[in-house]
Amino acid sequence: DLEGFEESIAETHGVELIGIPSGCFPRLDSMLDGWQGFGVLAAEPGIGKTTLLLQTGLGIVPTNEDAAFVFVSLEMGRTAMMRRLVSQTTRIPYRTLRKGEKDQDEGEDGLHFSEQTRSRLRRGLENLRDLAPRIAILDSEDFSGGISVEEFGERLVQRVEAFKAKTGCSRAFVVVDHLGKLPTGPQANLSTLERDDAKISALLSAQRRLGSDPIVVISQ
């Protein structure tokens, strides 16, 4: 196994970061040596876990020409996730994006936005259109059919690899939201701890198959 070891470690010598840099959190990038491997981001509901990883993905795409962003939303549908992405790129709060600004009358476009907010919306949408070809949103419809957690991992690998081939990217930053929503299939009779262990094992296996593509799963 040690045959060629020196040559193999030389591949990463001299590089600034081994993993994928976020482009927006330089201190975190330095601590993690770039996003790599498998990770779990756990916190109470409403803390901002999804927002943090969306911001990371939206930072990775424009600063890494060979990287794609794959977000697996098992709780929100594609439309809701699109709004979250638009909120991130426009810096318009999600609630304001959905309901408008209270102190603004309806404009000709039907929006209750000030001119400043309209301008932010236009600029943000232009930026998102540029990034969109390398962003994939997968939801529960992509993993339907009463599959097991192992089948989920298999399907995830297939979809990530297919998207990389479609975009010509060599790497992908993959986020799975969230652990509790992963399918259990025939393991539904197991304890919560046993189910979570099976889910983590399946995602670890998927990440190892993907190689240089980091997977981060959100957990409450």
* pLDDT score, position 150: 93
Q: How far apart are CA 58 and CA 50, in angstroms?
A: 12
Residue 82: which of 25, 166, 138, 159 has the closest Cα? 138
Handedness of CA 148, 138, 144, 195 (dihedral sign): positive
The tokens describing 66, both together, are 């060979």
* pLDDT score, position 189: 78
* pLDDT score, position 95: 94
Q: What is the pTM of this model?
A: 0.92
Successive 10-residue mean pLDDT values, the chain, 220 residues = 88 90 94 96 94 96 97 92 94 95 93 95 96 96 90 97 98 96 76 90 97 95
* pLDDT score, position 110: 94
Which amino acid, residue 171?
A: R
**How many CB atoms lie under 10 A from the CB of residue 188?**
9
